[in-house]
Amino acid sequence: MPFRVAVIGAGWYGCHIASSLASLGFAVTVFERHHRPLHEASGNNQFRLHLGFHYARHHGTRQQSRDGFLRFVERYPNLSAEVPENVYAVPRGTSLMDFATYRLVMVSSGIDFVELPGGHPLLRDIEGALLAKERVLRIGQAREFFARRLGAALRLGCAVTQFLPDAAGVTVNGERFDYAVDATWGHHRPLPIAAYYEPTLLLYYEARGPHPAITFVDGPLPSVYPTEDPAIFTLSSVTHTPLGRFARGDAARAALEAVDTALVAERRAAMEGQIAANLPGFRDAFRFVGVQLAIKTKPEGRADDRSCYVFQEGRVFSVMSGKIDTIFFATERILALIEAQHSLAPIAPTPGLREDILTPRP
């Protein structure tokens, strides 16, 4: 009989893990409290399919990104799109790393790029720039895809209110399962590591014409990146996007609910001012259209680490993500842990000499 697995949360992680386990013959049920998949962080982020260029200070994150990017494009060819011109630039004076070091880190990580020897005509005060082949996630397509793929296994509008793990399985909302995967990014049960919740604010803009994606690295810097609609961009800033740091998810949610027009105006002025320092044409090239609010979950004490971790407590797995490209890592880790648990039956010792060993005649 196949294992019955409850997956809590229909973000990128829950949807992908459930689809993969279902393909392998597991009997999967996904519980999602909202009325559509990818409703929270998975549908409210910067939509970048990372290749590793953001993570000059964390080798493990770069490796996971580079591999996850290739697998994502292979597995979900219609769920991301090319970004025609995607520039990474190191500004003079405000980057934590000089361009030569940044370039060397990417070369040594085996991540391909094209260097822009003369810089970029839209940018000023930069040490160097390169073109990277990252992609943009197509969230609308992904919602449709996973709803179709999971079918009746996806229970929308169904919050998990009862969760009772024991040695042989887990009872979820009165139903019995062999395993459960908590794919709620720490919102259903606390993660088994110290983590905090960061409410965030991104700004949406309409481009007045074709515009490249521009990301300033490395450190507390801004970026402007297209969405699945190539005319609509998000503006994000490592300094001005976070709205606080909370020990509990509900406190972070309350902070998001308190966001008002004065706060948006203050953050907008700060973010536009910051990006205009190196992209002086920003305000002419873009028209502000709105805000996007979401919560990030981050591990304490690992500021540069955006790798994915899977934790096991008996029959329950919890996923701690940092980005979307690591969905494959999470699934494989869960499978490996299930396999390990079921290969632990003790092997009876063979009495006496093994029969297949030949002994010389006396």
Q: Which is nearer to ligand FAD, 65 or 278 (CB)?
A: 65
Residue at 64: amino acid letter: Q
Min. distance of Cβ 298 from ligand FAD in angstroms?
10
Within its chain, how far is the Cα of 171 from the centroid?
Answer: 28
The site string for ligand FAD over 195-214 (x = CB under 6 A, - otherwise) reads: -----x-x------------
Which of 188, 267, 315, 333 lies at the binding interface for ligand FAD (CB under 6 A)?
188
- Angstrom distance (rounded) from CA 224 to CA 235: 5
| Residue environment code for 278-299, b if the CB has 16+ CB neighbours within 10 A, otherwise e | bbeebeebbeeeebbbbbbbbb
Residue 70 amino acid letter: L
Binding mask 220-259 for ligand FAD (x = CB under 6 A): ---------------------x------------------
Candidate residues 89, 160, 213, 255; the one interacting with ligand FAD per rule CB under 6 A: 160
Both tokens assigned to 97: 């790393």
Under 8 Å between Cβ of 326 and 307: yes
Q: Which of residues 46-65 bind ligand FAD (CB under 6 A)?
A: 46-48, 50
In this complex, which beta carbon is closest to ligand FAD, that of residue 86 or of residue 184? 184
Q: Which is nearer to ligand FAD, 124 or 253 (CB)?
A: 253
Measured from the CB atom, is 88 or 185 closer to ligand FAD? 185
Q: Site for ligand FAD (CB under 6 A): which residue of 61, 80, 184, 278?
A: 184
- H helix intervals, the chain: 12-23, 59-75, 99-108, 139-150, 249-257, 261-276, 282-285, 327-342
Measure the CA angle with vertex 147, ends 143 and 153; round to 5°.
140
Positions in 298-327 near ligand FAD (CB under 6 A) = 319, 321-325
| Cis peptide leading into residue 218 (ω within 30°) | yes
Question: Phi, psi (5° rounding) for residue 96?
Answer: -75, -10
User: Cβ contacts of residue 190 below 8 Å, gap of 6+?
Assistant: none
Shortest distance (Å) from residue 202 CB to ligand FAD: 5
Q: Out of 183, 275, 279, 338, point to the residue binding ligand FAD (CB under 6 A).
A: 183
List the x/- string, 5-44, binding to ligand FAD by CB under 6 A.
Answer: ---xxxxxxx----------------xxxx----xxxx--
Residue 275 has φ and ψ, to the nearest 5°, of: -75, -30
- What does DSSP say about strands 80-82 and 86-91: parallel, antiparallel, or unpaired? unpaired
Q: Which residues contact 160 (CB under 8 A, 6 or more apart)?
A: 6, 8, 31, 33, 172, 173, 188
Nearest to ligand FAD of 214, 324 (CB atom): 324
Tell me how many residues contact ligand FAD (CB under 6 A): 38
Closest alpha carbon to 312 in 283, 338, 289: 338
Residue nearest to ligand FAD (CB): 11
Q: Which stretch binds ligand FAD (CB under 6 A): 77-85, 180-188, 264-272, 341-349?
A: 180-188
The least distance separating ligand FAD from the CB of residue 61, rounded to whole angstroms, comes to 11
Q: Minimum distance from CB of 17 to ligand FAD (Å)?
A: 9
Report in angstroms how near the CB of residue 320 gets to ligand FAD at its nearest.
8
Where do contacts with ligand FAD occur on this chain (CB under 6 A)? 8-14, 31-34, 39-42, 45-48, 50, 159-160, 183-185, 187-188, 200, 202, 241, 294, 296, 319, 321-325
